[in-house]
Structures are given as structure tokens and as C-alpha cells.
A and B are shown apart, each in its own frame.
Chain A
Amino acid sequence: MAKSAIPVQILAIVGAATLLAGVHSLIVPVTLTREKTGFVVPAGAQQPADQSTGSTAEAPAPSAADPAAVEDALAQTGDGVGGNASASSGDGKISLAEATKLHELAITGQGVWFLDARRRVDYDAGRIEGALYMEHTHISSGEGLDELMMFSPPEMGELLVIYCTGGDCQASEDTAILLQQAGYTNIAIMAAGFDEWAAAGLPTGGPTGGP
């Protein structure tokens, strides 16, 4: 074989791969950006049929959401959503103060769920109390979605609050994209991440605290 054939062979490999990639991308579309619609206060949510198993954390039992409670809670924060959760800032991001109020609703089972988009090892080391592990790889494997569907199917319209480490971390956005693809539309992202939450002395779960 002549060495001059090597560049031609390399081009042939790249060409074949590009062709296969093109066909594959038509079959399996990928999404990189989230539809930023803001979030709404869930109303009239139903109790799920089965919530007995499968959670990676002991999640609070969901119940009918109380929109007034959420709005009242957010009104007290005085920033961001500004007292009306159904008219959030458009990109669906909430501050630490707003998340704190929503967390009170989450742990009392009022139609709000906290989802941890960080790596499994980080989640195991410590998380927001009651948060479910929901890294994007956990969703795309099907496991995470099954778990979430069991607690809060999309048709219930409950509010999902997603967080990651904080700052510019992309994990929350990635998880939100996959959840939107799965039919969840009521999503808020806690701009302040877990680090800020824990530093503020707010309730945590895992080795350092409760569920």
C-alpha cells in the first residue's frame, strides 16, 4: 500500500462518518437550548396513583398545589418574580430567596419539587432537603424520568425547581431541556446553586442532614 493513499483513506473515513452522522441526526434530533417560558403556579394537581418506590431521596408526598401560598411566599421575597409566580421573569430563573419560599411549599407537599441536576457523587454528598437526583444522564437513561413521572407526571403541572452548583453551571439548563422534551413545561431554575444554598444554612439532605 502506498503511503500516499493514507490521506485519501482518512478522507474516506471522515466522509463515511459524516454521512452516517447526517442520517443519524435526522433520526435522533438533539436540542441545545431550552424554551424559556417562565413558570406558573400549579393549581388543582392530583395525587399520583403510586408514589411508593424508586426515589433516590425520600421525597415529600405531593398534594394539590396552593397557588395562593406560592404567590404569598414569593411576594414576601420582594424581588425577581415579584409576588406573582405566574408572571415570572421569562427565563424561569429564581433567586435564592424565592427558592427558599418555594422549598417550604416543597417539603409540605404543595406541588413543588426540587431537582438536583448535579453529578451523582455531588448529590450523594449533600443536596437540598427532599431534592430528587435528576442529572441529565439520569434522565436520558430513562431512570430519572420514570422516577419523576411516578411522583409528578407532566399532566399534573407541578412546579419543578432545578438547581446545580451555581454560578454559570449548565447542568440545570441541560436537565430542563430534557424535561421539556418529556412534556414538563412548568420549570424554574434556581440561579443560586447548591453551594450558595448550603452556605446560607438552608435545609440540606444527604450525609449532612435529612432526606
Chain B
Amino acid sequence: MAHASVPSRGPGWIESILALLPARLVLAGVFGLAAYFKLSDPQSFAFAIKAFEIFDPTEQAHAVKLLAFAVPWTEAIIAVLLVLGLWSRAAAALLTLLLVGFTGGLLSLIWRKIETECACFGSLEFGCTGPVGLCHIARNMGLILLGLLVTWRGGGRLALDRRGDADPSGVDSEDDDA
């Protein structure tokens, strides 16, 4: 059954080259580096999660430890998928969910007036320095927009998702399946 809200045509070459490929690469680069820094020092990332004061480090240590490893590995897998353009929508959707979660955590820090560093990207500051503030929220919002773009439009023509799509008319069979 066709959905009126879903575009019947997929992204063209211009959109793929000028918007979707850069969006994928930026997200993959940022989160690939973030994963690298976090995985190379999981203890510091665990401390960073603890500093958010969402989990009790004694009672809920298992949750902090699980997040300290699972979050960067998720980011790493997503980064690889986005570079390849494989499962682009799923990867971008999951990344967007992660970013929404991170942003919620940052907002709760600001709300509770807890002054701590973000450690969102490991030791990589990525545009915002110092304790968590509105800069971090704005940065995350920008990344969320990129994530939503890829979730909505897919990986574009320069993605492995499109392998086997040899239709020169530009009709996006990905969306037609919906």
C-alpha cells in the first residue's frame, strides 16, 4: 500500500553528493572518533557516565559499566555502517535516538546545576569546551538534524544500500517497498 507521506522518488545524484554523503561522513567521522576515544579509555568514559549522577555508582554499577562499553561499540558500528552506506536509515535512526538520549542527559545536568564535562566524544571536545552548557545542546541538535536527514532520505546513491539498483530513471526502489 502506498503511503502519501513517503516520497515515491529517492534522492537524486545532486542530493546524494551534496547532502547525504557529507551528512553520512560527518556523522560517521564524529562518532567513529568518539567511539575510538571512548573504547581506548573505557574507565574514563565510565567516570564520565558516573558524573551525570543518573545512576548510583554503588547500586547500579552494572548499568554504568554496560553503558561504558555498549555506547561506544554502538557508535563504532554505526560509524562503519554510515561510511559504507549500509543499513543507512537504521544506523542514522539509532544514532538519532542516541543523540536524543545524550541531549536529555545534558539537559538534566543543566537543570540540576551539576557542573561536569560532557565527555560526549571522549577526549574530543568537538566545538564545545568546558562544563556542559547550551553549546553542547546546540551541537547535538545539529547532529540530530543530520541524523534525521539520513533517516528520512536514506544513504543516497553513493551507498551500498543502493547496490543492485540499476534503474537509470532514478526511481527509488527502497521507498517503493514500503
Our verdict on whether A and B bind, yes or no, reads: yes
Cβ-defined contact, B73 with A10, below 8 A: no
Q: Which residues from 15 to 33 on chain A have a C-beta closer than 8 Å to any C-beta of chain B?
A: 16-18, 20-22, 24-25, 28, 30-33
Partner of B174, one of A1, A14, A24, A174: A1
Give 1 or 0 for each of B79-116: 1 = CB within 8 Å of chain A CB. Answer: 00100000101110110000000000000000000000
Q: List chain B residues, Cβ under 8 A from A32.
A: 46-47, 50, 57-58, 61, 64-65
| Interface residue B134 (Cβ < 8 Å from any Cβ of A) | no
Q: List chain A residues, Cβ under 8 A from B81.
A: 13
Cβ-defined contact, B58 with A33, below 8 A: yes
| Smallest CB separation, A4 vs chain B (Å) | 8
Cβ-defined contact, A137 with B70, below 8 A: no
Cβ-defined contact, B57 with A1, below 8 A: no
| Interface residue A170 (Cβ < 8 Å from any Cβ of B) | yes
| Interface residue A178 (Cβ < 8 Å from any Cβ of B) | yes
| Interface residue B68 (Cβ < 8 Å from any Cβ of A) | yes
Q: How many residues of B contact A (CB 8 A)?
A: 38
Given contacts A136-B44, A137-B41, contact A18 B90 (CB under 8 A): no
Cβ-defined contact, B177 with A1, below 8 A: yes
Cβ-defined contact, A14 with B61, below 8 A: no
Cβ-defined contact, A13 with B91, below 8 A: yes
Give 1 or 0 for each of A150-165: 1 = CB within 8 Å of chain B CB. Answer: 0000000000000000
Given contacts A13-B77, A13-B81, A170-B50, contact A21 B177 (CB under 8 A): no
Q: List chain A residues, Cβ under 8 A from B43.
A: 28, 30-31, 136, 140, 178
| Interface residue A53 (Cβ < 8 Å from any Cβ of B) | no
Q: List chain B residues, Cβ under 8 A from A170.
A: 47, 50-51
Considering only CB atoms, which chain A residue lies closest to B57 in the complex? A32
| Smallest CB separation, B44 vs chain A (Å) | 5
Considering only CB atoms, which chain B residue lies closest to A28 in the complex? B42
Q: Which residues from 112 to 148 on chain B have a C-beta closer than 8 Å to any C-beta of chain A?
A: 117, 123, 130
Cβ-defined contact, B44 with A137, below 8 A: yes
Cβ-defined contact, B46 with A3, below 8 A: no
Q: Which residues from 12 to 43 on chain B have a C-beta closer than 8 Å to any C-beta of chain A?
A: 39, 41-43
Compute how far the CA of A194 lies from the CA of B69 in the bound complex, rounded to whole angstroms. Answer: 33
A-B contact pairs, 21 of them (CB 8 A): A1-B161, A1-B177, A3-B175, A6-B93, A7-B90, A9-B91, A10-B94, A13-B78, A13-B81, A13-B94, A17-B76, A25-B66, A30-B43, A32-B47, A32-B58, A32-B65, A33-B61, A121-B130, A136-B43, A141-B41, A174-B47
A residues adjacent to B (C-beta < 8 A): 1-7, 9-10, 13-14, 16-18, 20-22, 24-25, 28, 30-33, 119, 121, 136-137, 140-141, 170, 174, 178
Complex A-B, nearest 9 residue pairs according to Cβ-Cβ distance, in ascending order: A9-B90, A21-B69, A17-B74, A21-B70, A17-B73, A32-B57, A2-B177, A30-B46, A20-B73
